[in-house]
Structure 1
Amino acid sequence: MTFVRQSGIQNKLLRRFPEDAFDLLAPKLEPIDLPVKHSLVLARKPIEHVCFIESGLASMVAESADGKSVEIRHIGREGIAGYPVLLGVDRTPNSVFMQVPGHGLQVATENFAPILEHAEVRKLLLRYVHTCELQLAHTALAAAKFNTHQRLSRWLLMCHDRLDGNDLALTHEFLALMLGVRRAGVTDELHILEGMHAIRSTRGNVRILDMLIEIAGGCYGVPEQEYDRLIGDRARRPVLPVHLIGNAHHRML
C-alpha cells in the first residue's frame, strides 16, 4: 500500500505523532470507508480495531439495561474510536457508530498496542483521553443545568467543529439521540433556534448561520479550550455571520 505523507493526514492526533512513531505505525494503517451506521465499537464486544477518523462524524452511545439510549459524545477528525484500549480495556458497554459518512485509517488493536510504548505517543493519547472525559463531564453538566435549545446549540457547535462547511447533514433521529428527547421535541427546539436566526433547518440538514456560541453560553467551550491547550492543531472553524456564508472557504486546517 502506498501511504499518504503525514502532512496529508486530516486526523489531528495522527498529525501530532512524532515522526519516528508515525513511521512505525503508518504501514499498519488501513484506509476504510465509513458509511452511515457503520459500527466502530460494538457494546460488550472485543475492540478489534482503533480507528483514526479522517472525515465524517461518529457517535458514542450509552444504553441502559432496559434499552434506552443517548449519545454521550462525538468523535471526528480530532480523535479516535476505540480509545478504551489506551487504558488497557478490551471492551466497553458503550457503542460507537457513524452518524455522518466519511473515511478513516484503522489499525488492528494488537498492532496498535506496541506504539503505546513510545513515551511521546502515550503522553499525547492520554491527554486525548483526558479531553474525552472532560467532554463527558460537560455533557452531564449541560443536561443538568442548561435548557434544551442551549444543549442543542452546544451539540451543533460540536458537530460544526468536526465537519466541513456550514451545512450539517443531521437527521432528526440523530438530533433526538443527541438530546435524549423525542423527535417532536427536536422540531420544537430547531424552530426556536430558527426564530433566533441561528440556523436554517430543512429535512436532513441544518445550516449554521450565526449566534450559536452566544446561545449555548457556558455549556460550550471548556473541553474545546482544553483540547487546544493540550493537543492543539484543532483549528476550530468560526461560525461565520450569515452575510459571509458562501463567500469563504470553510475547512478545518
Structure 2
Amino acid sequence: MTTFEQSTTRNTLLRTVSPHIFARLSAEMERVALPLRFVLVEDGVAPSHIYFLEDGLASVVATSSDGEAIEVGHIGREGASGMHVMLAVPATPGRTFMQVEGSAIRVPLNVFTEAVVSDRETREFFLRYVHTTILQLAHSALANARYNVQERLARWLLMCHDRLDGDNLAVTHEFLALMLGVRRSGVTDHLHILEGRHAIRATRGNVRVLSRDTLLDIAGGCYGIPEREYEKVLGLPSRVR
C-alpha cells in the first residue's frame, strides 16, 4: 500500500491543505494514470472519485442541447475534479476529461464527502477553491464576450502554461478550437499571428511558449484576476505579473 507524504505531492490543493485534512484523506488515496480522453466527470453521472491532478490537463466542457460544445475551464495540478459535490449536487451537466495525459491522486467520493461534512476547516478550504473555479468561469464568459480571438488564445495558452511543466504544451488544433469556440480551420491562422509576434512556435500537436511576457501583453486584462484570487484565498505566493 502506497504511503503518501504531503510534502511530496504535486497537487497544489493537497500540498496546501492543513496536515490533519491531508491525513484524513490519505488513508484512501490512490495514484492513477490519466490517459488522453479519460473522463473524470461524466455528464449527469455522479463521480465515484475526486481526482487531484498532479500532471496533465483536464477540460471542463459545456455542451448545449443541440450538441455545440466549448471549454469553460481547465484543471491541472492546481485543482481537482468533481467540485460540484461541494454544493450538494451529486451530478452535473457537462463533462470533464483529459486533454493532455497525466496522473492524479484520487480519493473515493464517500471519503471526501465525509471529511467535508464533518470538518468545518476542510469544508471551508474546498469552498474557497470552488469560489476560484466559479471566478474562472465568469472570466471565460467575459473573455468570450469582450476580447478578440488573439487575446483569448493568449489567455488560454497562459492558463495551459500555468498548469503544465516546461514550455512545451502538448495541445492539438482540435483542443484549441474547443477552447476558443472557433472552427478548427481558423486555429492555424491565429497561431501564425502569435508566431509572428515571437510569442510561440506551433508544430503538430505542440505549442512551445517562447515569450510568456509577450503572451501576457497580448492577453491584457482577460488574464490575471482569477489567478491572483486563487493565490489569495488559498494563501499562496502570487506568480502573476
TM range, smaller chain:
over 0.9
Which residue does the alignment assign to 1:135?
A: 136
Note the aligned Cα RMSD (angstroms): 1.3
Segment drifting more, 157-166 vs 102-111: 102-111
Q: What is the DSSP-based 3-state SS (H/G/I as helix, E as strand, rest coil) of the residue aligned with 2:157?
A: helix
User: Does the CA contact (< 8 Å) of 1:41 and 1:82 recur in 2?
Assistant: yes
Matches within 5 A, 1:36-51: 36-51=36-51
Superposition misfits of 4+ residues, deviation over 4 angstroms: 234-238
Shift of 1:119: 1.6
Report the Cα offset of residue 31 of structure 1. 1.0
1:16 is displaced (CA, Å) by: 1.6
Q: How does 1:218-233 map to 2 (within 5 A)?
A: 218-233=221-236
Aligned letter for 2:127?
A: L
AA in 1 matched with 2:41: V
User: Over residues 150-182 of structure 1, what are the superposed CA-to-partner deviations in whole Å (9 max), with x where a residue is unaligned?
Assistant: 000000000000000001000000000000111
Q: 1:215 aligns to what? A: 218
Query: 1:202/1:237 Cα in 2 relative to 1: closer, same or farther (>3 Å)?
Result: farther
Q: Does 1:123 align with 2:124?
A: yes
Q: Structure 2 counterpart of 1:84, which letter?
A: H
The answer to whether 1:204 aligns with 2:210 is no
- TM norm structure 1: 0.91
Per-residue CA deviation, residues 172-216 of structure 1 (Å, 9 max, x unaligned), is 000000001111111111011011111100000001111000000
Matched letter for residue 155 of structure 1: W
Residue number in structure 1 paired with 2:11: 11
64-73 or 23-32: bigger deviation = 23-32
| Residue aligning to 1:247 | none
Aligned counterparts, 1:82-161, within 5 A: 82-116=82-116, 117-161=118-162
Aligned-partner SS, 1:207: strand
- Gaps spanning 5+ residues in structure 1: where? 239-253
For 2:13 and 2:65, the matched residues in 1 are separated by 34
Q: TM-score by structure 2 length?
A: 0.96
Match of 2:166 in 1: 165
Q: Percent identity?
A: 54
Q: Shift of residue 19 of structure 1? A: 1.1
8 Å CA contact 2:224, 2:240 repeated in 1: no
The residue type paired with residue 225 of structure 1 is R
Distance change (3 Å), C-alpha of 1:235 and 1:99: farther
Structure 2: tracts of 5 or more residues without a match: none
